[in-house]
Amino acid sequence: MHIAIVGASGAVGQELLKVVEERNFPFDELTLFGSERSEGKEYFCKGKPYKVRQLRHGDDFKGVRFAFVSAGASVSKEFMEDITRFGTIMIDNSSAFRMDDSVPLVVPEVNAGDAKFCPRRIIANPNCTTIQMVVPLKALEDISHIKRVHVATYQAASGAGATAMTELENQYRQYLNNEHIVVERFPYQLAYNMIPQVDVFGEDGYTKEELKMYHETRKIMHSDIVVSATCVRVPALRAHSESIWIETESPISVENARRAFERADGVTVIDDPDNRQYPMPLPATGKNDVFVGRIRKDLANPNGLTFWCVSDQIRKGAALNAVQIAEYLIR
Ligand SMILES: NC(=O)c1ccc[n+]([C@@H]2O[C@H](COP(=O)([O-])OP(=O)(O)OC[C@H]3O[C@@H](n4cnc5c(N)ncnc54)[C@H](OP(=O)(O)O)[C@@H]3O)[C@@H](O)[C@H]2O)c1
């Protein structure tokens, strides 16, 4: 089997190389693509070196079974025809096709079956904040229908890509050395700060990131669920955190919620407040699961439950989710 990674030099592309190696994803041939900036760079996978080729229009994807694409929405739109024309399944990490009715939006723990119906040969990976939220939500939805969600996110710098991680690291160094602090990837200095804006502002004062959580959750869960989000960029390097309040049709006890989370695929419960055990971004970094803790009743709503959820968004929020989709299709 021949696979391709488009955007190999990026934060998600680099994680894809790790994930296919760790999971021993079956391939005989691997082609890496990027722009002219990374053309010729060499990366290793399963002990073998691979050189990045420049992504061009043409027939480079002939014979490629799966293309994992993470080079931004405009690249996905521009090259979609070239990638899918000869039968390649494009698993796309960008927002380009997520809300297209003929493109399934898939989180394997929630709606794996949707991946089978992809008439355009494109399957979209949801937004990272949505992926880590719907995995535990699915476990609760199976007990009682979730009507409403309020969520506040605490999103790591790496959600904005490899150069954004470097910017945060540089800003801490610049601050400590009393140097000029360079701000390019975020609207303000992120080091020692928090920014209540992820992506640009859209309708009614919500950012695009917040609206993605609204629309994508409904599509993935095939539900009339409503999601009201506030997305905040925080100076963590990697792994997003979310504070989630849900309202269900009938109340779910804390014990039942914990049991459902413990049984759910892809969820690990860390919830022992007496011993200060709860999920955090640093220990979640590089891990596959969505970590859930601080499970408790919502004091403001008799049908409410609240919990804290952390996951490595480059991994489960992007690379791992994409590879799991391909694994599902192979099975
Ligand atoms: N970071 C996350 O946590 C995360 C999570 C979920 C989804 N995503 C999505 O995944 C995509 C990639 O994100 P990222 O964080 O990996 O970004 P990134 O670190 O900035 O990497 C971007 C990648 O795109 C490539 N690229 C840019 N222009 C290109 C072109 N014209 N032709 C071919 N390749 C091109 C770059 O290659 P060169 O180095 O050669 O320019 C680089 O490999 C985005 O759509 C993002 O929204 C990211």
What confidence score (pLDDT) does residue 203 get? 79
Tokens describing residue 40: 């010729």
CA-proximal residue: ligand 1, atom 12 (nearest):
70
Could you report the per-residue pLDDT of 151-182, keeping only the tens digit for each?
A: 999 999 999 999 999 999 999 999 999 999 99
Please state, for a pLDDT cut of 90, what percent of the chain lies above it.
99
Q: Which residues are catalytic?
A: 128, 240
CA-nearest of 125, 127, 143 to 262 is 143
Q: Within 10 A of 307 (CB to CB), how many other CB atoms are there?
A: 25
Q: Is residue 13 within 6 Å of ligand 1 at its C-beta?
A: yes
> Distance between CA 293 and CA 154 in Å, rounded?
15
At 264 the three-state DSSP class reads coil
Q: Taking a C-beta distance cutoff of 8 angstroms, is the pair 17, 8 a contact?
A: yes
Determine the average pLDDT of the residues in 69-82.
Answer: 98
Q: Taking a C-beta distance cutoff of 8 angstroms, is the pair 328, 112 a contact?
A: yes
Strand positions, DSSP E, 48-193: 48-54, 64-69, 89-92, 122-124, 146-155
Q: Is residue 156 within 6 Å of ligand 1 at its C-beta?
A: no
Residue 64 Cα to ligand 1 midpoint, Å, equals 20
Q: Taking a C-beta distance cutoff of 8 angstroms, is the pair 83, 90 a contact?
A: yes
Q: Is residue 14 within 6 Å of ligand 1 at its C-beta?
A: no
Please state, for a pLDDT cut of 70, what percent of the chain lies above it.
100
Task: Lowest mean pLDDT of 190-194, 202-206, 261-265, name the range.
Answer: 202-206
What confidence score (pLDDT) does residue 253 get? 98
- Element spanning 281, H or E: helix 281-284
Side by side, the strands of the sheet bearing 2-6 are 42-45, 48-54, 29-34, 2-6, 64-69, 89-92, 122-124
The pair phi, psi for residue 177, each rounded to 5°, is -90, 10
Q: Is residue 166 within 6 Å of ligand 1 at its C-beta?
A: no
Average pLDDT of the chain to the nearest whole number: 97
Could you report the per-residue pLDDT of 220-258, keeping only the tens digit for each?
A: 999 999 999 999 999 999 999 999 999 999 999 999 999
CA 14 to chain centre: 14
Residue 94 Cα to ligand 1 midpoint, Å, equals 8
Tokens describing residue 201: 């502002």
Q: Is residue 115 within 6 Å of ligand 1 at its C-beta?
A: no
Between the alpha carbon of residue 59 and those of residues 1, 67, 79, 80, 285, the distances in Å are: 17, 13, 11, 12, 37
Tokens describing residue 59: 């027939």
Q: Taking a C-beta distance cutoff of 8 angstroms, is the pair 50, 31 a contact?
A: yes
At 53 the three-state DSSP class reads strand
Q: Taking a C-beta distance cutoff of 8 angstroms, is the pair 123, 97 a contact?
A: no
CA-proximal residue: ligand 1, atom 36 (nearest):
7
pTM for this prediction:
0.97
Could you report the per-residue pLDDT of 118-130, keeping only the tens digit for each?
A: 999 999 999 999 9
- Local confidence band at 138 (pLDDT 50, 70, 90 cut-offs): very high
Determine the average pLDDT of the residues in 259-276.
Answer: 98
Residue 232 Cα to ligand 1 midpoint, Å, equals 21
Could you report the per-residue pLDDT of 140-156, keeping only the tens digit for each?
A: 999 999 999 999 999 99
